[in-house]
Structure 1
Amino acid sequence: MSTQLPNDQTQMMAPSLAPGSSVRSRGRNVLAVASGKGGVGKTWFSITLAHALALRGRKTLLFDGDLGLANVDIQLGLMPQLDLGSVVTGKVTLTQACSHYERGGFDVIAGRSGSGSLANIPLSRLQLMAEDLSMMATAYHKVIIDLGAGVEKSVRQLARAAGTILVVTSDEPTSLTDAYAFIKVTALERPGADIRVVVNAANSTREGERTYATLRKACEGFLKFSPPLVGIVRRDMRVREAIRNQTPILIRSPNAEAAMDVETIADKLLAE
């Protein structure tokens, strides 16, 4: 792959959030799935990872943290009566907004699809929600937060609840550049944060390794930090079919290459 990330022109962003406790001492069972830009399969990966963990007997919660463009419920074909919008308005607690997705065997807290009404939630309210989520996490083996794309304050606030952040990227130059921007901002705000990389929709394992090498080289050169590769998910047309049919790929096409790749990532995470 010949893609070259541009020189480090991302504006330095000073930490704007109150420092918390050590990243590694809290939220150890919470995984935040991030991406620099949309369209890289972040939500699909979050759903499939949650499903794979549940299939391995882990009590798992999937939290739709994409406050602007929530769509976990759409991909799963759900029509939840309660969602994060109900929590923000004070109608219910975060626990009450949680529902069980029977087909996948994991719990879901849905966002408010298509409204964008949560995009401008005050950071103080979001921080309380993140604290509530941290409390809920103690009742689960694993919690997956599907973050919104980008580096907005709301995204970074939710990411702080996680002990590990998985940054999903593809081989597209804009995806790589934006993934680097997310890694940079997070590393500046949270030195020592456990940030790892997932390459999605790779044409082959070798191509995925080349994509990762491009991102790693930029991080090493400018940040003096090398986020490890947690896994590569190969491009698979059955992913699109599963999304179109609002059915998890591990149900519709469990033997698909992409499905098996996510299962490999789940096994790797559980082996730690």
Structure 2
Amino acid sequence: MSTVDPSMVVPRMAPAKQRSILAIASGKGGVGKTWFAITLTHALAKRQQRVLLFDGDLGLANIDIQLGLMPRHDLGSVVAGKLTLNQAATHFASGGFDVIAGRSGSGSLANIPASRLQLIADDLALMARDYDRVILDLGAGVEKAVRQLASTAHTILVVTSDEPTALTDAYAFIKINAIERPETDIRVVVNASNSTREGERTYTTLLKACQGFLRISPPLAGVVRRDTRVREAIRNQTPLLTRYPNSEAALDVEALADRLLAG
């Protein structure tokens, strides 16, 4: 029987953070995180970026629902060992990007073992090498599974609104990540603001808390204005940039995408 030279065996190691992975997070639900992740992905795809949108909201996955997409495969099949992460990707032709869907509405992935989740995170980091950008839509909150997936990302956009609870929870998310991974590039997105100036004031409130208690200054990635057409697009299961490309919210996300690409 032939033997293998131990010096030729390469152990499996977790890949380093990929600069192409950008996580979308929020301290609480209801701030438009998933809608924002979809719209940002679409905006980047329109700019000739090869983009993968990964539904990492393990408890309440709904990216496929918002897109009106009926994928043949989802993350549940990957967790069950039936498919590789690559095989679970579905191309969303009208948006020009790929999607790895969660298991919508079942909550069945919420209690995935940490070791299995780490394998998925490692595979996502490897898969990211084939894309210009990977947008990772995290679950809301600061649970361990959320933080474990977030650790894959080089940049995290924390979405908040002007509601006091949203600001408090966004601060909590920033605090925990700043303690656990101080090297992470964390930026703030203020969503559903009545105006750009009001959104900037909301950001300033969060910034002062971060500076005063954490001694960090996460920059403002952008403000997205409140727009009734966002809800209409979601209700019609159509991306905002397709249905209402000239709406205020669409223009705000497009501008944010341009700033991200500019560095």
TM-score of the aligned structures, taking structure 1 as reference length: 0.91
Tell me if 1:38 matches 2:29: yes
RMSD: 0.9
Q: Which amino acid aligns with 1:88?
A: V
State the secondary structure of the residue aligned to 1:135: helix
- Counting only pairs closer than 5 Å after superposition, residues 36-115 of structure 1 correspond to structure 2 as 36-115=27-106
Q: After the TM superposition, which parts of structure 1 deviate over 2 Å for at least 4 consecutive aligned residues?
A: none
- Alpha-carbon distance between aligned partners in 2 of 1:93 and 1:121, rounded to the nearest angstrom: 16
Cα shift at 1:229: 0.2
Cα shift at 1:192: 2.3
Cα shift at 1:27: 1.2
Q: Residues 17 and 151 of structure 2 are in contact (CA less than 8 Å); yes or no, is this contact kept in structure 1?
A: no
Number of aligned residue pairs: give it: 250
> Highest CA radius of gyration, 1 or 2?
2
Task: Please list every run of 5 or more consecutive structure 2 residues that lacks an aligned counterpart in the other structure.
Answer: 1-13
Q: Cα deviation per residue 1:219-267 (whole Å; 9 max; x = unaligned)?
A: 0010001100010000000000000000000000000000000000100
- Counting only pairs closer than 5 Å after superposition, residues 172-251 of structure 1 correspond to structure 2 as 172-251=163-242
Q: Which amino acid aligns with 1:67?
A: L
Task: Please list every run of 5 or more consecutive structure 1 residues that lacks an aligned counterpart in the other structure.
Answer: 1-19
State the secondary structure of the residue aligned to 1:96: helix
Cα shift at 1:195: 0.4
Q: Cα deviation per residue 1:85-133 (whole Å; 9 max; x = unaligned)?
A: 0000011110000010001000000000000000000111000000000
- Alpha-carbon distance between aligned partners in 1 of 2:182 and 2:260, rounded to the nearest angstrom: 22
State the secondary structure of the residue aligned to 1:28: strand
- Alpha-carbon distance between aligned partners in 2 of 1:160 and 1:80, rounded to the nearest angstrom: 27
- Alpha-carbon distance between aligned partners in 2 of 1:121 and 1:146, rounded to the nearest angstrom: 17
- Alpha-carbon distance between aligned partners in 1 of 2:33 and 2:72, rounded to the nearest angstrom: 24
Q: Cα deviation per residue 1:168-212 (whole Å; 9 max; x = unaligned)?
A: 000000000000000000000001210000000000001000100
State the secondary structure of the residue aligned to 1:198: strand
- Alpha-carbon distance between aligned partners in 1 of 2:71 and 2:206, rounded to the nearest angstrom: 38
- The percentage of aligned residue pairs carrying the same residue is 74
- Alpha-carbon distance between aligned partners in 1 of 2:230 and 2:51, rounded to the nearest angstrom: 22
Counterpart in the other structure of 2:6? none
Cα shift at 1:81: 1.6
State the secondary structure of the residue aligned to 2:200: helix
**Out of 144, 148, 156, which is 1:153 matched to?**
144
Counterpart in the other structure of 1:168? 159
- Alpha-carbon distance between aligned partners in 1 of 2:29 and 2:191, rounded to the nearest angstrom: 12
- Alpha-carbon distance between aligned partners in 1 of 2:249 and 2:52, rounded to the nearest angstrom: 22
TM-score of the aligned structures, taking structure 2 as reference length: 0.94
- Alpha-carbon distance between aligned partners in 2 of 1:81 and 1:108, rounded to the nearest angstrom: 11
